[in-house]
Amino acid sequence: MNSVEKEIHYLNHEKGFKSWFWTLDHKRLGLMYMWAVIAAFVLGGVFAMLVRMELMQPNSLEGGQFLSDQVGGLSAADRYNHFFTLHGAIMVFLVIIPGIPAALGNFALPMMLGAKDVAFPKLNRFSFHLWLTGALFFVGALLWKGLDTGWTFYAPYSTSHSDTSVIMATSGAFILGFSSIFTGLNFLVTIHKLRPEGMTWFRMPLFLWAIYATAVIQILATPVIGIALLMLSVERWLGIGLFDPALGGDPVLFEHLFWFYSHPAVYVMVLPAMGVVSELIANFSRKPIFGYRSIAMSSVAIAIFSFIVWGHHMYVAGQSEVVSVIFSALTFSVAVPSAIKVFNWVATLYKGSIRLNTPMWYALAVIWLFSIGGLTGLFLGTLGTDIHLHDTYFVVAHFHFVMVGSAIFAFIGGIYYWWPKMYGVMYNETYGRLGCFLSWFGFNLTFLPQFVAGTRGMPRRYFDYDPQFASYNMWSTIGAMVLMVGLVIGLFALVHSLIGQRRKAPANPWGASTLDWQCTSPPPPHNFDHAPSVDDPYDHDILRWDEQEQGFMPIDPVDGDPNLAKMGSARTAPATHS
Amino acid sequence: MISLVPLLSPFLQEQEGSYFFPVQASEFAADTDWLFHFILWVSVVSFVLVVGVTGWFIWRYRQAREPEPQPSATHSVKLELIWSIIPSIFLVIMFWEGFQVFVDHRNPPPSADRVDVIGSKWLWTFRYPNGAELPELHVIKDRPVRLVLQSKDVLHSVWIPAFRVKMDAVPGRYTQLWFTPTIANGPDEFFPLLCTEYCGTQHSSMNSKVVVHPNAASFQTWMNEATVDYDPDPEKWADNGALVYKNKGCQVCHSIDGTTAGKVGPSFKGVFGANRPLASGESVLADENYLLESIENPIAKVVANYAPAMAVNGGVSLSKEEKDYLVAFIKSLAD
């Protein structure tokens, strides 16, 4: 590398706050999303730790109550309710839903398509500004009167009883919803219109299939939560009876509207995570993904099924018995495509050449954690067992395995995977792996005991509990501390790579044959100098390890662009290598 | 100082029930637990297979041993059908068995005794066939009971873990659940009944006791003791009020010893005759009229530093006499 000749890339081609805030570049927007989501994750994590510290010991024990009585006119129980509500609301609306699609999707999706940007760059910028506005509303609610409704905003507690900033928070969620809809719309159109020559639907990287299926859910389901939250605000503000029976409304109606969005939203969180894992498993095994079509189609199947299972949140909520039975049957249908994905990932490892870089560690952690999250879902989809388990710590543990164990772990894995592309530097593998291991270990220690606490009789959202649950809770809190240390190390490893002695990243450190790895690291402002053509996204034979480059290079590069591989019709001869 | 002893307690203490569940105290419990363990073992086997094969592949095909991938099939319809159909069979069984248990839960026998359960922030009131309203649920061993749930304010949910039953109490409609208890409690023993739908500040203390009597005679003895007729003699009003305070759930939010920790409302101790500073900045002399007004219209004069959290009559039904008794009781707690 010639240090005299300064490289021009997307990070340094223009400078200053305005060049970032008003940028139309999908890569810069993706990066800003990523850091904003990480900041929200830290905030949500602080609330999680406050919750865990309070629950470490039962209050009946000497010194068992962590939160002090009466601060700012709020009792310890009230503040605990605020903390778990804010933890849930921030993590769901500000972190997990935008996490992979908005941050990693924005960064990688146009490059995976060989495109210069998304279809509607200004709409994309508007989405990000909406996210910031929504986040400001959340912070406003936090600083003003807080929020104690649970992230579910169930009426009539939220409309007629809570004395907190409900309308400000629902307005925030409403605005974030539009951010999500516009992002989904943008990606949907981009995938339809900007695929390069040769990239048929079944030659798209699986991450794109996952983002596509996610976008469909974002566009079709998010308006419903928007309307539901608007109705809730109208009832709270003007007293128009929609959900509160005291005003002539029906609280179960709100539950239906809420879960009509919020169940599909689970797949807004998990589908992109599955997309990331599919990329990681294939590339770090140097194998074509096993059962490409089943994985792609299972993403679409999950997206469709996700719309017709919401009633499984309401088996004991007072909905009709017949409806509950139908929803239970439909719920099991979503288990099959989820299982297919896991089996396909495992089969991809077979006869591969498996490299255990940090992103792969995270991908393997997801196989472990998602398997537990998915299998424990069976107990909750089954009518007979859900009666006992509903609204207990069993549910808390289950959805954390799915939403954190799968979505957040895949998100971090994805950040590590694309980090060399984002900043043009390599992180320290030892730190990265240590962070992953501690996070995985701490996560299991936090949430496995909660399954047993739940089955033995501990309800969720409890400020205090019977001393018989003391051991599960103490293990869980210790696990949360280990998890926190793991996450901090994970973040440290990334920041560490940016300061001091930087290790320059090659264009293609992982040997991935998707197009995002065929421009320089970091990419130039417009990604590609030559319009690429595409064949199989998992054909690793077109690349070979280059010792001097410390990365993978195309065997048969496009004339004038050493990083870009000739593929499809442009490829002259089948590559062979030793 | 934090004691680390609880970390070892699952290994040291004899726990009641099985590893995952409390004692099986209703006819539903065995079915639920069997189904749970069936799904558990299917899950454990699946999990071990997935993780075991993953671990084996990682070790066997690690880069150090296999520097280059070997050609292998990119898909296999046969394999994919196998791993779609076999799990599907188990899923159908789970659905079907769960459906059966659910049908049992949702169909109370016509002969079942009826108890109305009224949820309000933050206490349960149980109304028995004889009209008595009491804060505990007492039932008789081997006699099916149907609970008809209602809520006065927000969503609540009745959960009795020992019976494996749960149902939300929804304002504006009735819901129901039923069970047949199979184990009688000894003296001073009870099964917990918990609120499992988040309902605000005192959600985690909105619990009650389920006591299973060995026979109808034992139940009747308890009922006779619990429903003493109030002695209308004005001398006894304060004593009557103490009973109302306990039976109608006042103690959930108000102490009588001056403590406020963990309570939503002010203590009753030393209220009567005192000048009460109000949230509005004014103050009021706590006489009998003020006490009665604060029961019937609690948000009219809210004491400083407290939220207007109380419902009319504390969210329970109070007769005129019971309010008189309560006022007399609070008066008796004057400094």
- Looking at residue A413, its amino acid is G
Is residue B190 within 8 A of residue B207, CB to CB? The reply is: no
| Listed residue (B158, B160, B149, B159) closest to B185, CA to CA | B160
DSSP-derived 3-state class of residue B317: coil
Task: Render pLDDT for B222-270 as a digit per residue (tens, 0 to 9).
Answer: 999 888 778 888 888 888 898 889 888 888 889 888 887 777 888 999 8
Whole-number Å distance between alpha carbons of B78 and B81: 5
In this structure, what token pair is assigned to residue B19?
């590893």
Residue B280: pLDDT band by 50, 70, 90 thresholds? Answer: confident
A325 has pLDDT over 90: yes
Tell me which chain A residues have a C-beta less than 8 angstroms from the C-beta of B122.
none
Which helix or strand (DSSP H or E) is residue A552 part of?
A: strand A551-554
Weakest mean pLDDT among A92-106, A532-546, B34-48: A532-546
Instruction: Verify whether the Cβ–Cβ distance B98 to A383 is below 8 Å.
Output: yes
Between β-strands B137-140 and A543-546, what pairing exists: parallel, antiparallel or unpaired?
unpaired
Whole-number Å distance between alpha carbons of B127 and A461: 27
Whole-number Å distance between alpha carbons of A125 and A131: 10
Å from B330 to nearest chain A CA? 24
Nearest by CB: A378 against B39, B205, B305:
B39
- C-alpha distances in angstroms, A296 versus A205, A207, A299, A476, B165? 9, 9, 5, 36, 41
Is residue A89 within 8 A of residue A150, CB to CB? The reply is: no
Weakest mean pLDDT among A566-575, B11-20, B76-85: A566-575
Residue A573: pLDDT band by 50, 70, 90 thresholds? Answer: very low
Tell me which chain A residues have a C-beta less than 8 angstroms from the C-beta of B57.
346, 349-350, 352, 354
Instruction: Verify whether the Cβ–Cβ distance B83 to A339 is below 8 Å.
Output: yes
| Listed residue (B180, B109, B154) closest to A157, CA to CA | B154
What is the average per-residue pLDDT within A481-490?
A: 97
- C-alpha distances in angstroms, B113 versus A464, B140, B180, B192? 33, 10, 10, 20
Task: Report ipTM (2 d.p.).
Answer: 0.92
A298 touches chain B (CB under 8 A): no
User: Which residue in chain A is spatially nearest to B263 when comparing CA positions?
Assistant: A75
User: Which residue in chain A is spatially nearest to B172 when comparing CA positions?
Assistant: A245
- C-alpha distances in angstroms, B233 versus A240, B239, B240, B321, B330? 48, 10, 10, 12, 17
A574 has pLDDT over 80: no
Is residue A285 within 8 A of residue A354, CB to CB? The reply is: yes
Burial level of B260, CB count in 10 A (0-12/13-18/19+)? middle
Between β-strands B145-151 and B113-120, what pairing exists: parallel, antiparallel or unpaired?
parallel
Give helix A321-349 / helix A292-305 axis angle, nearest 10°. Answer: 160
User: Which residue in chain B is spatially nearest to A387 when comparing CA positions?
Assistant: B166
User: Which residue in chain B is spatially nearest to A378 when comparing CA positions?
Assistant: B39
In this structure, what token pair is assigned to residue A74?
């709020």
DSSP character for A160?
A: I
Best of B157, B204, B254, B267 to disrupt the A interface (most A CBs within 10 Å) is B204
A501 has pLDDT over 60: yes
Whole-number Å distance between alpha carbons of A237 and A160: 9
Whole-number Å distance between alpha carbons of B172 and A81: 25
Average pLDDT over all residues of chain A = 92
Between β-strands A543-546 and A551-554, what pairing exists: parallel, antiparallel or unpaired?
antiparallel
Task: Render pLDDT for B192-235 as a digit per residue (tens, 0 to 9).
Answer: 999 999 999 999 999 999 999 999 999 999 999 888 778 888 88
Instruction: Verify whether the Cβ–Cβ distance B102 to A69 is below 8 Å.
Output: no
Is residue B165 within 8 A of residue B171, CB to CB? The reply is: no
Nearest by CB: B75 against A292, A315, A356:
A292
User: Which residue in chain B is spatially nearest to A57 when comparing CA positions?
Assistant: B2
Å from B136 to nearest chain A CA? 18
Scan residues 247-286 of A and list those with Cβ closer than 8 Å to B: 249-252, 285-286
Best of B34, B78, B83, B210 to disrupt the A interface (most A CBs within 10 Å) is B83
A481 has pLDDT over 50: yes
pLDDT at B18: 86
A140 has pLDDT over 80: yes
Would the pTM count as exceeding 0.90?
yes
Best of A328, A455, A482, A545 to disrupt the B interface (most B CBs within 10 Å) is A455
Instruction: Verify whether the Cβ–Cβ distance A157 to B32 is below 8 Å.
Output: no
A439 touches chain B (CB under 8 A): no
Instruction: Verify whether the Cβ–Cβ distance A471 to B196 is below 8 Å.
Output: no
- Looking at residue B277, its amino acid is P
Tell me which chain A residues have a C-beta less than 8 angstroms from the C-beta of B58.
349, 354, 356, 364
What is the average per-residue pLDDT within A384-398?
A: 97
Residue B2: pLDDT band by 50, 70, 90 thresholds? Answer: low
A555 touches chain B (CB under 8 A): no
Burial level of B164, CB count in 10 A (0-12/13-18/19+)? buried
In chain B, what's the furthest Cα-to-Cα distance? 96
N residues, chain A:
578
Whole-number Å distance between alpha carbons of A336 and A334: 6
Instruction: Verify whether the Cβ–Cβ distance B195 to A459 is below 8 Å.
Output: yes
- Looking at residue A454, its amino acid is G
Residue A4: pLDDT band by 50, 70, 90 thresholds? Answer: very low
Is residue B121 within 8 A of residue B250, CB to CB? The reply is: no
* Those residues with Cβ within 8 angstroms of residue A304's Cβ, 6 or more apart along the chain or in another chain: none
Task: Render pLDDT for A430-449 as a digit per residue (tens, 0 to 9).
Answer: 999 999 999 999 999 999 99
> What sign results for the dihedral spanned by CA atoms A444, A445, A447, A449?
positive
Å from A367 to nearest chain B CA? 8
pLDDT at A572: 46
Query: Number of H helices and number of E strands within chain B?
Result: 7, 12
Scan residues 368-407 of A and list those with Cβ closer than 8 Å to B: 368, 371-372, 375-376, 378-379, 381-388, 390-392
Across the A:B interface, residue pairs with CB atoms under 8 Å apart total 290
Nearest by CB: A470 against B9, B192, B307:
B9
User: Which residue in chain B is spatially nearest to A148 when comparing CA positions?
Assistant: B200
- C-alpha distances in angstroms, A559 versus A293, A506, A528, B139, B205? 33, 19, 13, 85, 73
Å from A221 to nearest chain B CA? 25
Nearest by CB: A336 against B19, B88, B199:
B88
B167 strand-pairing partners:
B158
A245 touches chain B (CB under 8 A): yes
Top pLDDT among B308 and A144 is at A144
pLDDT at A2: 43
B178 has pLDDT over 50: yes
Whole-number Å distance between alpha carbons of A547 and B248: 80
Scan residues 33-92 of A and list those with Cβ closer than 8 Å to B: 56-57, 59, 61, 63, 69, 73, 75-78, 81
DSSP secondary structure letters along A20-62: HHT---HHHHHHHHHHHHHHHHHHHHHHHHHHHHHHTS-TTST
Name the range with the highest mean pLDDT among A26-35, A62-71, B11-20: A26-35
User: What residue has token string 């290079």?
Assistant: A553
Instruction: Verify whether the Cβ–Cβ distance B68 to A286 is below 8 Å.
Output: yes
Which helix or strand (DSSP H or E) is residue B126 part of?
A: strand B123-127
For the CA atoms of A349, A351, A357, A359, the dihedral, rounded to the nearest 10 degrees, stands at -20
Nearest by CB: A382 against B35, B196, B262:
B35
Nearest by CB: B168 against A318, A353, A459:
A318
| Listed residue (A46, A66, A12) closest to A474, CA to CA | A66
A282 has pLDDT over 90: yes
Instruction: Verify whether the Cβ–Cβ distance B39 to A379 is below 8 Å.
Output: yes
Whole-number Å distance between alpha carbons of A217 and A211: 10
Whole-number Å distance between alpha carbons of A118 and B1: 56
- Looking at residue B288, its amino acid is E
Task: Render pLDDT for A149-202 as a digit per residue (tens, 0 to 9).
Answer: 999 999 999 999 998 999 999 999 999 999 999 999 999 999 999 998 889 999
Is residue A198 within 8 A of residue A513, CB to CB? The reply is: no
Which helix or strand (DSSP H or E) is residue B165 part of?
A: strand B165-169
* Those residues with Cβ within 8 angstroms of residue A200's Cβ, 6 or more apart along the chain or in another chain: none
pLDDT at A61: 83
Q: Torsions phi, psi of B166, nearest 5?
A: -155, 140
Question: Please, how many CA atoms are within 13 Å of residue A371, restricted to the half-sphere of its CB?
Answer: 24
* Those residues with Cβ within 8 angstroms of residue B173's Cβ, 6 or more apart along the chain or in another chain: A245, A250, A252, A318, B150
B124 strand-pairing partners:
B119
Task: Render pLDDT for A302-312 as a digit per residue (tens, 0 to 9).
Answer: 999 999 999 99
Is residue A397 within 8 A of residue A458, CB to CB? The reply is: no
Best of A383, A394, A451 to disrupt the B interface (most B CBs within 10 Å) is A383
Whole-number Å distance between alpha carbons of A482 and B182: 43
| Listed residue (A438, A439, A435) closest to A494, CA to CA | A435
- Looking at residue B334, its amino acid is A
Residue A578: pLDDT band by 50, 70, 90 thresholds? Answer: very low
Å from A119 to nearest chain B CA? 33
Instruction: Verify whether the Cβ–Cβ distance B91 to A335 is below 8 Å.
Output: yes
Q: Torsions phi, psi of A93, nearest 5?
A: -80, -35
| Listed residue (A205, A183, A189, A218) closest to A111, CA to CA | A205
User: Which residue in chain B is spatially nearest to A460 when comparing CA positions?
Assistant: B196
Whole-number Å distance between alpha carbons of A22 and B125: 60
Best of A328, A471, A539 to disrupt the B interface (most B CBs within 10 Å) is A471
- Structural domains in chain A? 26-504 (1.20.210.10), 515-572 (no CATH)
Between β-strands B175-179 and B191-195, what pairing exists: parallel, antiparallel or unpaired?
unpaired
Scan residues 475-534 of A and list those with Cβ closer than 8 Å to B: 475, 478
* Those residues with Cβ within 8 angstroms of residue B245's Cβ, 6 or more apart along the chain or in another chain: B251, B254, B256, B268, B326, B329
